[in-house]
A and B are shown apart, each in its own frame.
Chain A
Amino acid sequence: MGAEIIRVECAARSGRGGGLPRMKPGGAFGASFPDGDTGERSYNRFAYYNEVNRNKYAITLDLTKPLGVEVFEKLVKVSDVLVENFSPRVMANFGLDYSALKQISPEIIMVSISGYGQDGPYRDYVAYGQGIEAMAGFSRLTAYPDGEPLKSGVAYADATSGLFAAFAILAALRYRQLTGKGQYIDLSMREALTPLLGEFIMDHTMNRRAAKPMGNHHPSMAPHGCYRCRGEDSWVVIAIASDEEWRSLCRVMGDPPWTRDERFSHARSRWQNQDELDRFIERWTSNYDHRQLASLLQQAGVKAGAVLSVAELVEDPHLRERGFFEPLSHPEAGSHLYPGISWKMSRTPGRLRLPAPCFGEHNEYVFGQLLGLSRDEILRLAEEGVTATEPFSPLDQYSEMET
């Protein structure tokens, strides 16, 4: 959206998976590097980092050193917003909690993202996004009706918390424009995620009902599910909300005799007998290509969609035409597609302007041009280990990319 973002990283905790020796590790991890090769500087080639950090600058700064803190305070003076997601004690340990920072800059907007919030008995508890799904009631409900609790296949709590934080910052900026006052935002990942289960919580508060996993079923629609199609791991989803949609589905299926079975004659009976109904429908869908079938159903006015793999998503003609994926050329990772701007704005569309920064790439710009430090001062930062040229290589580090 156009803001100038400076990532403040340190060698011990870069969020980049650390510096690894050059190798081709294989598997999902290896696949996170261009052509499966970690390259000379793995930390500049890591997909996890490069996808979420496009359009940003990066500097290195060790905040455990007084000189690092001193420089950071200078940065705060020229910044509008500070975002951090350490455990709640960390910023205070650096002497950089909000009460300290507002002395330096009363207008600063500071956002702290943590697992459980800045106070309360779990304040110091360690949390990664995946565990937050479990703690917020999501995992119990992310399950097949007869199955064990699962998780979203993505960093759902992280992504959701990030969006809420963006909303919080913009709201605080608006207040600041009107009043000149900055403020502090305490965002607990679990509390941010919880409202997204609102209807289940309301059912419990209204009816003392403990929600049970429904898999792909729906509280009122039926059929409503995911059905096997021709080919390996190929699926279509169908959601029928009305009798009219049901009749359209029947027509596309060629009105087979079973559709006239009285078990399927009304919305209510279809819902009650949906397991049986699902089996009939899957017998039909399994003869078709998932994308062709979805398109056929859509033309008949039926809510349907192919379950797209990431490869199919990137090739999807609709997303292509809308220019959703955008290419970026990264000096060490090469030219690749990334998800672009999540929404379209008519006057200020935004775009991917910059690839993710290399480690310490913008030290010169930020310390020299932005803060006006002298060459000697910048040299001293490097000599005292406040800045670094590459991250440490503690091989256990990439569990930290969740936080």
Chain B
Amino acid sequence: MSQEALSGLFVLDLSENISGPFCTKLLADYGAEVIKIEKPGEGDPARKIGPFPGDEPHPEKSGTFLFLNANKKGVTLNLGGKGGIAIFQKLVEKADIVVENFRPGVMAGSGLDYQALAKINPSLIMTSISYFGQWGPYRDYHGSDIIAQAMGGLMQLTGEPEREPLKLPGSQAEFQAGLNAAVATLCALYFRDQTGEGQHIDVSVQEAVASILESAVATYSYSGFIRGRLGSRHPLQCPSRVMRCKDGWIHVQAGANWDHFAAFLQTPQLMEPKLASIFRYHHADEVEGVLQPWLMKHGAEEIFASGQEWRIPFAMVLGIEELGEDPQYKARGFFLEIDHPVAGRFAYPGAPFRMSQTPWQIARPAPLLGEHNEEIYAGRLGLSNEDVARLRKNGVI
């Protein structure tokens, strides 16, 4: 059996929806054993959010859930009562990592905050994700993805200058927080492996967003400049935007060599001093005006392919529906099919990066609700079949 990078790690995942499950997905995809712990009966709320095949809601068929939870094992456990809490504590004895994204205070309310868990297992790493962090004036604020994109400073920078700020599509703040949590967790693991000491990690979705504002903060600190929205333009590079072409859209950037770019386009106007200057971004309308007639004569694929031959970084503006047919994704086998016993067989996004020794792999589809109760409670904790049956009868699992 090939060893994966994170093989042998035992992770308890109490998290729901997107941020925490994305963190534990990364751990699971690179080899950790992740036990997803869900509420008996209802499970992760992501099971309700779709998309569903044929748009028919079904708790085992949510595309969001299936994507985020492949490679994990699933158990049910009611943490609202003593029986469930005791079982969780037993699991914590064996765990390397606990990940949760409840509102701050919820874990403490069940007596399961880091202080309590560290008494059971001092080398435990506990990763908590919340919209605004575990302390501070907004600790108890109600969050969602759009709230975090707004309060993290990202939204004010995205969209057209004369229109309302625009969020990034889907749940980008949540994904960023999950990615931050995954990196932080492995940092803590590195420290633990050197010292034996665990610790608590506090990931704030707002701060995850505020960390990626492309030097807007340093620029403000340096000169008081408040960066605004620029549509698809870039504050310093020109041209740099999505533009119309003969059959749709193309993303236009010149690359490092302006002469070369002008030669490719056979547009000598671009060599006028004002447009050839590095300060041409002051004349973005004019630069784009010169480019537009040429672009309208050529199709996106043609511009992309012929431009790339000249090493000019044109990019196509692809729709989701076009990704599967893209020759590069295909050649690298990026999308891969996963067969799920209830939902069926679908193509999922694949590895975010490739490791030569310890490849990313999908060992199992997302778990059915409570699918691994026997395996974990009987097999791992050594409970008898009668114990497990009793827990089930009492609604603990």
Contact = CB atoms under 8 A, between A and B. Distances in A.
B189 interface: yes
List 7 tightest A-B contacts by C-beta distance, closest first. A202-B63, A153-B157, A131-B315, A31-B225, A170-B186, A141-B169, A28-B235
Contact of B315 (A134, A188, A194, A319): A134
A216 B154 CA distance: 13
B213 interface: yes
A194 B323 contact: yes
B212 interface: yes
A200 B318 CA distance: 13
27 contacts: A34-B222, A121-B331, A127-B315, A133-B251, A144-B159, A148-B232, A150-B242, A170-B189, A172-B5, A174-B190, A175-B5, A175-B358, A194-B329, A195-B67, A197-B320, A198-B68, A206-B51, A207-B54, A211-B169, A216-B167, A303-B147, A313-B153, A337-B217, A337-B221, A348-B188, A395-B278, A399-B237
B370 interface: no
A86 interface: no
A322 B166 contact: no
A321 interface: yes
B135 to A, nearest CB: 7
B30 A130 contact: no
Interface in A111-164: 116-117, 119-122, 124-128, 130-144, 147-156, 158-160, 163-164
Interface string B176-205: 100111111011111101000111111110
A390 B258 CA distance: 23
Contacts, number: 528
Interface stretch (B75-83, B102-110, B345-353, B378-386): B345-353
B156 A308 contact: yes
Given A137-B323, A154-B212, A32 B236 contact: yes
A343 B218 contact: no
Contacts of B236: 28-29, 32, 398
B396 to A, nearest CB: 28
Contact of B215 (A51, A122, A241): A51
Contacts of B144: 221, 239, 241, 303
Given A131-B314, A183-B355, A235-B165, A194 B222 contact: no
Nearest to B211: A342
Most chain B CB atoms below 10 A, which of A30, A218, A305 = A305
B272 interface: no
Instruction: Give chain A's interface residue range (CB within 8 Å of chain B).
Output: 35 or more
Given A140-B319, A167-B182, A307-B150, A344 B201 contact: yes
Given A200-B170, A347-B197, A150 B231 contact: yes
A185 interface: yes
A308 B150 contact: yes
Contacts of B237: 398-399, 402
A210 B332 contact: no
A156 B168 contact: yes
B223 A34 contact: yes
A338 B217 contact: yes
Contact of A224 (B146, B171, B197, B249): B146
B232 A30 contact: no
Given A199-B170, A207-B51, A345-B201, A150 B68 contact: no
B186 A167 contact: yes
B217 A339 contact: yes
A116 B316 CA distance: 13
Contacts of A187: 352-354
Contacts of B358: 171-172, 175, 183
B53 interface: yes
Given A153-B154, A210-B319, A319 B210 contact: yes
A325 interface: yes
A154 B191 contact: no
Contact of B229 (A98, A153, A202, A224): A153
A322 B201 CA distance: 14
A11 interface: no
Most chain B CB atoms below 10 A, which of A120, A174, A204, A333 = A174
A159 B183 CA distance: 13
Most chain B CB atoms below 10 A, which of A34, A122, A172, A196 = A196
B232 to A, nearest CB: 5
A136 B156 CA distance: 23
B343 to A, nearest CB: 8
B318 A134 contact: yes
B374 interface: no
Contacts of B63: 198-199, 202-203, 205-206
A172 B357 CA distance: 9
B142 interface: yes
A311 B220 contact: yes
Nearest to A303: B142
Most chain B CB atoms below 10 A, which of A28, A194, A316, A397 = A28
Interface in A329-388: 333, 336-339, 342-348
B64 A131 contact: no
A165 interface: yes
A310 B186 contact: no
Contact of A310 (B6, B49, B217, B315): B217
Contacts of B315: 127, 130-132, 134-135
Contact of A343 (B202, B212, B230): B202
A226 B332 contact: no
B160 interface: yes
B281 A27 contact: yes
Given A32-B219, A202-B67, 16 more contacts: A48-B214, A134-B242, A137-B323, A139-B317, A150-B160, A160-B179, A172-B5, A174-B186, A183-B358, A206-B346, A226-B166, A298-B141, A305-B146, A311-B220, A318-B138, A339-B211
Given A29-B279, A117-B328, A313 B349 contact: no
Contacts of A33: 222-223
A29 B320 contact: no
A226 B160 CA distance: 13
B1 interface: no
Nearest to B135: A322
A194 B335 CA distance: 10
Given A170-B189, A213-B169, A304-B147, A32 B228 contact: no
Most chain B CB atoms below 10 A, which of A1, A134, A208 = A134
